[in-house]
Amino acid sequence: MKLLKNMFYNTSYQVLSLLLPLLVVPYVSRLLGATGIGLNTVTSAFAFYFVLFSSLGIQLYGNREIAAFQGDKFQRSKIFFELNLLQLLAVIISAIIFLIFVFQIPNYRALYLLQGVSIISVAFDITWYFKGIEDFRIIAVRNTIIKIISVGLIFLLVRSSNDLWLYIALTTFPVLLGNMSIWPFLRHELVRVPLRELHIFSHFGSVLLLFLPLASLQLYPNITKTMLEFFHGATAAGFYFQSDTIVRVAFTLVTSFSAVFVSRLSKLVADHEDKQVKELTLKSLNLSTSVSFLLVAGLMGVSNTFVAAFLGSEFKDVSFLLFIESLVILPIAWNTTLGPQFLLATRKMKAYTLAMILGLGANVILNFIVIPSFGALGAVIATVMAEIVITGVEVWYVRETFSLSELTKGFWKYGLAGAATFFFVFWLNQELTVSFLHYILIALLGTCVYIMILVGLRAAIVNEVRTILPRRFGGRK
């Protein structure tokens, strides 16, 4: 039950954290235009490189290590202080280098400095600790309040294209405040640890090993934006950013399960519960696959009208980008389950690292081939192919634990249901007029069609859901 509650809290928060800014997108896109959105994309992509270095691999590593010592308060406290000091050191170094670079840039210096607030936010980010002890409620509730206030302020204060700086400030400072608001909850969680017993750099090798795949995973979207800006200008980068933003909202429904499962799997591995580790991983993969096909069908089905209605006619070229990039949700669902969940929890970090690095390499090579000729469309294709490469490598590395037949069992049922749902959604989208209420109706009816087909096919996810429903709904206790 605790696992289900944490899945609810984390999924709700992650979806809301992307949905709230997405509600602002139509408003901001019309005010700032393609140029303003492009400048925000380029400056945030630059700052993100330093945010990435500041965070190292501590989010995933800290989650796993704290989860492994849930029952040992002293060891838990020791790990927290060591990792927090290591992260603070990385933030200081990153901030100094960031400022040196920014003051060499002649244009838009104020925008870059505002994006730099994200670097400072990393020093106060201790969400990994609460994920490790499987307490996702604190993270979800506190940060949700901050984000709602942020969105409200954007609608109230951002009024013209000259307010780009204010928009950036209202997206970076709330993250800092959200991270700081969680610290008071540590009061009863930690015990004193003598300074002489703290060994900050004892984690450095493991953190660095985990940082490489994390950097690879998060670098290639930013490398893509940078390359698009170089070859085709900020507008092309903005088009890719808009498509990528919508897709990320969708696959957050899938990836939000990851942090919850990592915590539980790490504890099971520490307790040598190998059978439960395998069973839980397959259940996670089954859940991710079923949700992914529904999301892909929905996004592809409405892409031809949704973008223009949502972002404005200036962004109509994003429609086809969204149609193609929607496919990336499927491999992401798989590599999130097999990588950050299974390989990380079982401490097979070299395999996870290699998969991410090969994916990054594939993305960069494909970008150089397709972006000069095809622009944002080429970038989207390269993104999808890179995720497929990552998934393929991870499937290869887990072959001793999971056979291909185990991983793909019942896969065709989700594919068939997804294909049928796509055609239904596409048809319904053509028949109805464009409106917010009609998109909600399409989503609800599409989901019903998908579920009914899965029930008819007796897909595995249907049985999994029945096991957690009360007996009066036909489930087993």
Domain that holds residue 287: 2-190+198-409
Would the CA dihedral through 144, 146, 147, 152 be positive or negative? positive
Tokens of 100: 């040196």
Assess if residue 424 is contained within a domain: no
d(C-alpha 86, C-alpha 58), whole Å? 9
Measuring CA to CA, how many Å separate 196 from each of 78, 82, 84, 192, 340?
11, 11, 16, 12, 33
d(C-alpha 405, C-alpha 284), whole Å? 16
Give yes or no for a contact between 22 and 249, defined as CB atoms under 8 angstroms apart.
yes
Tokens of 221: 């979207």
Q: Is 16 exposed, middle or buried (0-12, 13-18, 19+ CB in 10 A)?
A: middle
Assess if residue 172 is contained within a domain: yes
d(C-alpha 40, C-alpha 387), whole Å? 25
Taking only the tens of pLDDT, the chain with its 477 residues reads: 566 677 677 777 777 766 676 678 778 887 888 788 788 878 888 898 899 888 887 887 888 888 888 778 899 999 999 999 999 999 999 999 999 999 988 888 899 999 999 999 999 999 889 888 878 788 888 878 888 888 889 889 988 888 889 999 998 998 898 899 889 888 888 888 888 888 888 888 888 877 777 777 677 777 887 788 788 877 788 788 888 878 887 777 777 766 667 777 877 887 778 888 888 888 888 888 999 999 999 999 998 888 877 777 777 888 889 999 999 999 998 988 888 788 887 878 888 888 888 988 898 899 999 989 888 899 999 999 999 999 999 999 998 889 888 899 888 999 999 999 999 999 999 888 888 788 889 999 999 999 999 999 988 888 777 665 544 444 444
Assess if residue 440 is contained within a domain: no
Assess if residue 158 is contained within a domain: yes
Assess if residue 468 is contained within a domain: no
d(C-alpha 146, C-alpha 13), whole Å? 12
d(C-alpha 405, C-alpha 31), whole Å? 51
Q: Of 251, 349, 306, give the one whose Cα is nearest residue 442.
A: 306
Q: Count structural domains, the chain.
A: 1
Assess if residue 446 is contained within a domain: no
Assess if residue 460 is contained within a domain: no
The distance from CA 146 to its chain's CA centroid, rounded to whole angstroms, is 19
Assess if residue 415 is contained within a domain: no
